[in-house]
Structure formats: structure tokens, C-alpha cells
């Protein structure tokens, strides 16, 4: 969000993050678009990368949910965090019930993405949903736009590493890890994250995300 947009939103009601027309409520969405978010049901994502742990998501990456995620990530509309975290809590509740004592490990943005957005958008959503350990770090990676599925998989595999001082104690505790992401597509990033954590001695039996994209 640039300075002009920030000043504009300070004095005039922000438009709904989804339809961009009706005034937004406190959630960042208008009443109609908020009603169009996924219902309470969750489902298991169908991922083409077989190395990814079983991943439970709140809904499909489409409609108001897709718009809200894009506005939250790319335009810094952090008021959407409440409604998005509420959606993330649904799959976490299901998975967490099967994995008592599990810790949440968010998929990190690259340094460049975090600098551009101004915050770690996935870790921000995890706050208040469980014990969070930021023990992954992201290396620079190419934009996935225009890459083939195989190229995306290879880029994901080389883009993540562990933070040694943070994983040692976690590995010693034997507590399971639930990976957390905002959007999953092929599962390549989750597969890469699970692989590096497992090499560090951790159990990664499951993952959750807000949305699954085809």
C-alpha cells in the first residue's frame, strides 16, 4: 500500500477487499462477500506432489476468498487477518485434535517478499492459533509464473532451509510439526518444507492451509 492509498483509506471508508465496491465492514469485506466465504466444512487437498504431508484446507482458492487473500498478501490489508485466521483455525482444529502437542511451523516468505509486503503474512495469521516456531527460512526463488510443474517443484526444493538453532530444541522435544501455508497448489513447497524438517529429525505428519488452488 503506497502513501496515497494509506491517506485515502484513513479519511474515506475502504472498499470491500473482494467486490471492491461496497464499503468494507471491520473484517475488510462487505456483508455479502463475507457470506460468500467457505462454510464450516473443511476438506483434504488433492496435491500432485506426493512428498507433501496430508493437507487439510478451509476451501477453494476462488471467489471472495481468493480476492481477500490477494488483498491481504499483496496490498497489506491486515484488517483481513481476523477473518482469514478464522478460516485457518478450522482445519487446524481438525488436525490439532489428532496431533496433541503439535507446534505450528509457517511457510516463510523470501526476504524480498517480506520486505515488499512489510510482514510475514503466514506467521501473522498463526498468532493466537497455537504455538508457533519460525524454524524455516526461504532462499531467493524465481517467480513461479511461467514455470512448468517440474520447474516449480525443483524451485521449491531448493528454496527452503532450516534455522539450525531453532530446530535443535524442537527436534529434541519430539513434538510433531503442522506446516501452515496460505495457499497450496501442487504441494511442492510443503513437500520441500517437510523434507528439510525431517532431515533435521522432526516429525511432519500434516499440513494446513486456508485455500487450495487447482
Predicted confidence band at 94 (pLDDT cuts at 50, 70, 90)?
A: very high
Query: Which pLDDT score, from 0 to 100, does residue 3 have?
Result: 53
Is the model's pLDDT at 1 over the cut of 80? no
149 or 170, higher pLDDT: 170
pLDDT above 80 (res 151)? no
Q: pTM for this one?
A: 0.88
Residue 11 has pLDDT above 50, yes or no: no
Go through the domains of the chain in sequence order and give each one's CATH number. 39-212 (3.40.50)
Check pLDDT > 80 for residue 6: no
β-sheet bridge partners, residue 44: 56
The per-residue pLDDT for range 102-138, each reduced to its tens digit, is: 999 999 998 888 999 999 999 999 999 999 999 999 9
Does residue 83 register a pLDDT over 70? yes
Residue 69 Cα distances to 64, 74, 153, 183, angstroms? 9, 8, 23, 9
Does residue 205 surpass a pLDDT of 90?
yes
pLDDT value at 7 more than 60 = no
Beta pairing partners, 207: 55, 179
**Cβ neighbourhood burial of 214 (10 Å; 0-12, 13-18, 19+):** exposed
pLDDT of residue 128: 92
Taking 80 as the threshold, does the pLDDT of residue 31 lie above it? yes
By mean pLDDT, which of 13-17, 142-146, 152-156, 205-209 is the weakest? 142-146
Residues comprising the chain, all counted = 214
Q: How many CB atoms lie within 10 A of CB 12?
A: 9
Amino acid at each position: 500500500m503506497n502513501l496515497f492509498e494509506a491517506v485515502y483509506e484513513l479519511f474515506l471508508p475502504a472498499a470491500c477487499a473482494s467486490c471492491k465496491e461496497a464499503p468494507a465492514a471491520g473484517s475488510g469485506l462487505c456483508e455479502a462477500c463475507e457470506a460468500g466465504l467457505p462454510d464450516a466444512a473443511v476438506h483434504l487437498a488433492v496435491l500432485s506432489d506426493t512428498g507433501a504431508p496430508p493437507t487439510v484446507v478451509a476451501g477453494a482458492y476462488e471467489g471472495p476468498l481468493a480476492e481477500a487473500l490477494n488483498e491481504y498478501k499483496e496490498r497489506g490489508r491486515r484488517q483481513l487477518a481476523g477473518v482469514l485466521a478464522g478460516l485457518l483455525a478450522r482445519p487446524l482444529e481438525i488436525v490439532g485434535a489428532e496431533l496433541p502437542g503439535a507446534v505450528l511451523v509457517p511457510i516463510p516468505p523470501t526476504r524480498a517478499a517480506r520486505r515488499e509486503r512489510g510482514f510475514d503474512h503466514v506467521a501473522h495469521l498463526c498468532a493466537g492459533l497455537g504455538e508457533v516456531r519460525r524454524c524455516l527460512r526461504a532462499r531467493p526463488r524465481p517467480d513461479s509464473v511461467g514455470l512448468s510443474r517440474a520447474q516449480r517443484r525443483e524451485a521449491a526444493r531448493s528454496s527452503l532451509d532450516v534455522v539450525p538453532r531453532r530446530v535443535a530444541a524442537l527436534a529434541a522435544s519430539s513434538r510433531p510439526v503442522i506446516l501452515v501455508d496460505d495457499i497450496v497448489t501442487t504441494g511442492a513447497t510443503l513437500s520441500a518444507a517437510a523434507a528439510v524438517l525431517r532431515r533435521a529429525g522432526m516429525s511432519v505428519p500434516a499440513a494446513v492451509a486456508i485455500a487450495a488452488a487447482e
